[in-house]
Structures are given as C-alpha cells and as structure tokens.
Amino acid sequence: MTADGSGVRVAETRERRRRIVLAAAMVASPFLALLYGWEAALLTLGAGLLATAFLAFDASRHASLDLTAKRLLLVAGAVNIGLAIVAGLLLLERLR
C-alpha cells in the first residue's frame, strides 16, 4: 500500500502477477506438449487465451484511453476468445 492508504501499489502488484502467469501459461504450453501430450498443451493454451481476453476486456473498460485504443483492446480480446475456442475444439477432438 502507498503512504496515503489508497492501495494503488497493491493493485499494480496484482496486475503484474496476472501478466506473469498469463505469459507463463502461453510459453509453457509447447513444453507441456512435449512432456505430457497435446491435451495438456491445449488446455493450458486455452486457459491462457481466455485469461488474456478477460484482461483485454477489463483494460478497455477501466483504462482512460482514447477510442481507438479501446477498440484495439476489444478486438484483441475477441481474437483471444476465438483462438481459445479453436484450442478447446481441438482439445475435444483429441479426447475422442
């Protein structure tokens, strides 16, 4: 917490941790494929993509950005959801 008790520093730390976890999930998925198979990789990749989409939508709502930047974040979130759906469908196909 900051000296005035606003909690801004705590929020920044939480946001940084989220970003690190998301990056680790996307980087780890190819290695999980090598170690445990495609199913683990697709599951990890899908979870990372969904979490990234959530953060993009959340940032577009709460950030004080211009309209173009907000639209870009919304498009990035939609693309991540689309890719997560593809990963989920591939996972379902692999599990058959």
pTM, 2 dp: 0.73
- Alpha carbon 8 to its chain centroid, in Å, reads 22
d(C-alpha 72, C-alpha 57), whole Å: 10
Reference 84, options 51, 38, 39; nearest CA is 51
Q: Tell me: the pLDDT tens digits for 35-84?
A: 888 898 899 889 889 988 988 898 888 878 788 889 999 999 999 999 99
